[in-house]
Structure 1
C-alpha cells in the first residue's frame, strides 16, 4: 500500500483545488493511503474529501523558518513512501526532506533542487488554472496533463449536516440562500454590502431565509449588510459563529450560494450547491468555481483583473457595476422555479 503525504496549501480554496490531484492519485493506485499535512484552519475541507484517510495538523505557518523545530516535527511523522508538496516555498518542502520520504514531488518553486527529487517546471501558459497545476504533479515531469480533470467533491453526510443545523439553532426548512460576502485577500474582491443587502431584501419578500457565512474578520461586513437591509428579519448572521466544518455543512444544505471569489466559493462549488460567483479584481480564468452548477459574473472591464487588494483607481467599478438584479436573474436560471421564487 503506497503511503502518500500531501503537504497542503494554506488557503481553503487552494485545498479544494488540490482535490483533483488526490482523485487522480487514487484512481491510478486504488490501494494508496493519503494523509494531508495541513494548517488547522483548512483541515475540515481536506477531511471532507473521500480520498483523504487522515489529516495531520501542520504547526508551521507563514512565520519564521524554524529549522530545528521542523526537523524535530518531521521525525515524529509515520513512514511515507511519497510526498507531494503543493506550496511553492522552500521551507514547505523541508518536512518531507527531514522525514526522509524517498520520493518528494513538487514544482521547483523557490530553487528546491535539494529538498525535492521529482521536480516539475511550471509552464503557466500550458497550465493556466490552479487546479491544473496541482494535478500536473500526478504526471511524470514533462509529461502532458491528462484532461479532463474531475471537479472537486466535498462530502458531508445528512447526519453531519443535521448536527451543524442543530448546533447553530437553525431550522432545515425552508432551505436558505447563503451569502459569503468576505474575501481574505482584500476589499477589491468584495461585492458591495449594499448590493448584498438589496438581494437579501428580495429573498425576504419571497419568504426565503438568508444565512451569512464567514470568519470573524467578516463580521463588520455582515453587520453592515443586515443594517442596510433595514431589518434582521429573515437574515441570520453567522460570521465568526461557525467553524469551517459547520460552514461546509450549511453551504451543502443551502438551495443557493452567492459568493465573492473566496475560499467559501470553492467550498460551495465542491458541495454541488448552485452558486453565483462574483469576480472583480481577480480572474475566473485562474481560479474559477469548478462546478456545472456555478454561474460566474465578471464584467471584464479594461482595468480588470488587476489582482490588487484595493481598487487602484478608487472606483471599484468591476464589482459596483454588478447589479443585484443580474445576480437574481442568474440565480433564478440555476434553480427550479419552485425554489427560486
Structure 2
C-alpha cells in the first residue's frame, strides 16, 4: 500500500473504529489496573530509523521491569532491524504485512489472537497519532494501554481508551518520548509523566558483529570493485525513500561526488535497486571509474551495515541509513529540513547534522501524518550548500588519513 492510501484509510476508517471502541470502553466501564507489568507489547510499526531510536526505551524497560517479558509488533519489512538490535528474543517478534488491505487484515486477526492467547497485560503504542496502533492496543485485551494523546490539542483523535495517555512533545527528542511512554505505565499524573528524561539515557549500542563477518564483506567488495581497492570510500545516499521531499538536491550530490573523486577518494552510491536511476545520473555527471553504483548491492540491512564498517564517511538524507550508521564506526553527515534533528537526530556522537531551520521547517510532523504542504521546492534542503558540506567532509576525512583498512 502506498503512503497516501494508508493515510486515507487511517483518517476515514481509523477515526470511525476508534470512536466505536471508545464507546465500548465506556459501556464496559473499563478501568486501568495498578500492578507491575508482566507481559509488555511494544507497537512500533512503520519506521526502521525509529526502531533504532527506540533502543534506549527497550534498555529502560528491561532495567525498570527486569522480570517482564517484552514483545514487539511491527511491519514485516522492518523485522531485520529489530533482529540486529537484539533487544528481545526472536520468538517475541510479531509482524504484520502492509502490502495490501487483505493481507493486513488477515495478519492483524492472527496477531491479535496470539496477543490474547499469551495474555498481554501492557501495551506501549509508539506510533505518532496513526490510529492503527491504538486499535491494536485496545483489541489486544491489555488492561494497561499507553500511547501518545493530544489532550487539549484539537484533532489527532486516537480513541478515549488509551488509559495511560502521554502528551506528545514536538520539542523533545523522540527517544526521550519513547522512554516517557515506559514511565507512564505506573503513573497517575495528568499528563501522565512529569519528569525529566536525562540526555545520558540516550545511548546507542554498536551492532554485534564478528571480525570474520566484516572481513567476508570486505573481500567480496574488493573482488566486485577492484578499481577502488586501497582508496578511502565515501558512501552517499541520495534517495528520498517513501518521502522524496527529504532528499537533498541531486545536483548537490553530483557536485560533492565530483569534488571527492578529484581529491582521490572513491565514492559509492548506496540505496535500493529502485534508486538506480539516481545513481546513473551521478555516474553520468562524474564519469569516473572510482564512482561506483552500490544501489541494490547490499541485499539486507545487515550487509549495508557491514559495508559501513570499512567506509570512511557516509553522507545521507534523513532516513534509515544514518541511524543504522550510528551502530557502526563510520562518521555521518545527515541533511534535515522537512524533519528536524531535534526530534530525529542520530544518537551517536560522530554524526553531523545540517539543518537550515527555516520558518516552515519541519513540515513533516505527527500533526499532519507526515503529509507535507510543501509544493516540492524544498528550500530547507537547497539552503544547505555543497561548499559547507565539503568543508565538513574533509575535516572528518582528514582525521582518518594514514589509517588503513584490513580484514
Give the TM bin, normalised by the shorter chain.
0.7 to 0.9
Work out the CA distance in 2 between the residues paired with 1:22 and 1:12: 15
Work out the CA distance in 2 between the residues paired with 1:131 and 1:295: 18
Work out the CA distance in 2 between the residues paired with 1:239 and 1:68: 33
Q: Structure 2, unaligned stretches of length 5 or more?
A: 1-36, 150-155, 185-191, 365-370
Work out the CA distance in 2 between the residues paired with 1:24 and 1:281: 30
Is the contact between residue 237 and residue 270 of structure 2 (CA under 8 Å) also seen in structure 1? Answer: yes
Match for residue 22 of structure 1?
58
Alignment match of 1:240 (pick from 296, 300, 306): 296
Alignment match of 1:332 (pick from 380, 387, 394): 394
Indicate the RMSD between aligned Cα atoms, in angstroms: 3.2
Q: Point out the structure with the larger helix share.
A: 2
Match for residue 153 of structure 2?
none
Aligned-pair CA distance for 1:97? 4.2
Match for residue 46 of structure 2?
10
Work out the CA distance in 2 between the residues paired with 1:335 and 1:253: 13
Cα distance, 1:309–1:67 mapped onto 2, change above 3 Å: closer
Cα distance, 1:72–1:124 mapped onto 2, change above 3 Å: same
| Corresponding position: 1:219 with 2:219 | no
Aligned-pair CA distance for 1:290? 2.3
Match for residue 197 of structure 2?
146
Report the secondary structure of 2:296's partner residue: coil
Q: Which moved more, 1:49-58 or 1:192-201?
A: 49-58
Work out the CA distance in 1 between the residues paired with 2:233 and 2:88: 30
Aligned-pair CA distance for 1:21? 1.0
Match for residue 318 of structure 2?
261
| Corresponding position: 1:70 with 2:70 | no
Is the contact between residue 248 and residue 267 of structure 1 (CA under 8 Å) also seen in structure 2? Answer: yes
Work out the CA distance in 2 between the residues paired with 1:268 and 1:188: 22
Alignment match of 1:107 (pick from 148, 156, 159): 148
Is the contact between residue 186 and residue 309 of structure 1 (CA under 8 Å) also seen in structure 2? Answer: no
Q: What is the aligned residue count?
A: 336
Aligned-pair CA distance for 1:259? 0.7
TM norm structure 2: 0.71
Is the contact between residue 20 and residue 152 of structure 1 (CA under 8 Å) also seen in structure 2? Answer: yes
Aligned-pair CA distance for 1:6? 1.9
Work out the CA distance in 1 between the residues paired with 2:339 and 2:131: 26
Matches within 5 A, 1:10-159: 10-54=46-90, 56-61=93-98, 64=101, 70-77=108-115, 79=118, 80-87=120-127, 88-108=129-149, 110-114=157-161, 116-117=162-163, 119-124=164-169, 127-140=171-184, 141-148=192-199, 149-157=201-209, 158-159=211-212
Work out the CA distance in 2 between the residues paired with 1:34 and 1:252: 30
TM norm structure 1: 0.83
Is the contact between residue 12 and residue 264 of structure 1 (CA under 8 Å) also seen in structure 2? Answer: no
Is the contact between residue 254 and residue 282 of structure 2 (CA under 8 Å) also seen in structure 1? Answer: yes
Cα distance, 1:236–1:41 mapped onto 2, change above 3 Å: farther
Match for residue 229 of structure 1?
286
| Corresponding position: 1:319 with 2:366 | no
Report the secondary structure of 2:343's partner residue: coil
Aligned-pair CA distance for 1:293? 0.9
Is the contact between residue 84 and residue 104 of structure 1 (CA under 8 Å) also seen in structure 2? Answer: yes
